[in-house]
Chain A
Amino acid sequence: MRSLNILVVDDSQLTTKKIAQMLTVMGHHLVASAKTGEEAIKQYAKHKPDFVTMDITMPDMDGIEATKRILKENPDALIMMVTSHGQEAMVLDAIEAGAKGYLLKPLQAEKLKANINEIYEKYGDNID
């Protein structure tokens, strides 16, 4: 798999740094980060990343709403929820919103890598 430009959305800067570090080790590139849903939409429009990791609980707009709005304008966007919420109803909401995958915190590099690879292999055909 080629190196991906990835947008990381999380209101915790420390979590963003942790994900960025893991992505770097995997050979990917943190193209931008966002701390809110609104910011995520703007950063997506600006950078058109290959992949997005999206938190759910954030100030102002949550990750599920941000996912819906990004996908409305960019139906091919590859968005994976990375969240502490393990509740089934929350997972279903995210999938219904169009998320391609769901990773539960605490973060583990191997799981992050496996999920990105799986989603990219399954849905990444539209990415050159």
Chain B
Amino acid sequence: MSDKKSNGYIVQSQVDAGKFMESVVGRTVLFLVDEASIKVGEVKYDLTDVKKLQLKALTSIITVEDDAKMTLAFTYDRKLINEIFSGYSEGIEIDEGDVDLYIEETAGDMINIILGNVLAEFQQKGRAFALSTPIIVNEAKSIARYKNHKFYTAELETDSGTMSIFCIMPGEPLRKRLGTKREGTKL
């Protein structure tokens, strides 16, 4: 799948985005179980063009940069992110007044760890994807699709509520290295 015209690879099919999303979902499921003892039930994928994204109570956003930017967002029901925080911070002393800050940090840590781990599966020797520091949005709102951008989504159901994972890719052919050298992602 190498792109002979460049040093990298082109991702423009749903299959490649699907592989990436499956890997992100797989790591998310593991994180939820390992760090917060939360089991994921059904996972719904939507790998077609999504026109509008509905953000939940809290959202963490990160950009992955190669030659072009891809944006990933994890958005959570309030109860779910509170539960994740409780598990992730278990045993750590936290002042009552700092809880909201640390819930946001939990969301930031989670997307950073999961994306950092996932990108190692898609790496190409000698080059690394750059990850931004996470941005947190503390408000439920909707985002319309940018022109020429594609949204891919996965929704994870748990007993504590749902979270959605959004992958926003430029619609134009994107030279990057996803879709190759993927090693055993388990869902």
List chain A positions with a Cβ less than 8 A from chain B: 11-15, 17-18, 21, 57-59, 83-90, 93, 104-106
A15 touches B109 (CB 8 A): yes
A104 touches B117 (CB 8 A): yes
Contact A83 B116, CB 8 Å, known A14-B102, A93-B128? yes
Residues of A within 8 A of B109 (CB): 12, 14-15, 105
Complex Cα gap A104–B129 (Å): 16
Report the number of A-B residue pairs with Cβ-Cβ less than 8 Å: 76
Complex Cα gap A93–B109 (Å): 22
User: Which of B11-19, B42-50, B118-126 has 4 or more CB atoms under 8 Å from chain A?
Assistant: B118-126
B112 touches A13 (CB 8 A): no
B125 touches A88 (CB 8 A): yes
Cβ distance A125 to chain B, nearest Cβ, rounded Å: 32
Cβ distance B43 to chain A, nearest Cβ, rounded Å: 21
B88-99 vs A: 1/0 string, CB under 8 Å? 110111100000
| CB of B155 within 8 Å of the partner chain | no
Contact A58 B92, CB 8 Å, known A87-B120, A88-B125? no
Residues of B within 8 A of A90 (CB): 128
Residues of A within 8 A of B35 (CB): 106
B116 touches A86 (CB 8 A): yes
B128 touches A106 (CB 8 A): no
Chain B stretch 95-141: residues in CB contact (< 8 A) with chain A: 101-102, 105-106, 108-109, 112-117, 119-120, 123, 125-129, 131-133
Please list 18 pairs of residues, one from A and one from B, whose beta carbons are closer than 8 Å in the complex, sorted by A's number: A14-B106, A17-B89, A17-B92, A21-B91, A84-B113, A85-B116, A85-B119, A87-B116, A87-B128, A87-B129, A88-B123, A88-B128, A89-B123, A89-B126, A89-B128, A93-B128, A105-B113, A106-B35
| CB of B31 within 8 Å of the partner chain | yes
Residues of A within 8 A of B93 (CB): 17
A18 touches B105 (CB 8 A): no
Using a Cβ–Cβ cut-off of 8 Å, how many residues does chain B contribute to the interface with A? 32
A12 touches B120 (CB 8 A): no
Complex Cα gap A13–B115 (Å): 19
| CB of B34 within 8 Å of the partner chain | yes
Cβ distance B20 to chain A, nearest Cβ, rounded Å: 15
Complex Cα gap A98–B128 (Å): 18
B92 touches A18 (CB 8 A): yes
B105 touches A13 (CB 8 A): yes
Q: Which of A58, A85, A86 contacts B133 (CB 8 A)?
A: A58
A-B pairs with the 3 shortest C-beta distances?
A84-B116, A86-B120, A89-B128
Contact A13 B101, CB 8 Å, known A57-B133, A58-B133, A86-B117? yes
Q: Which of A13, A84, A86, A89 contacts B127 (CB 8 A)?
A: A89
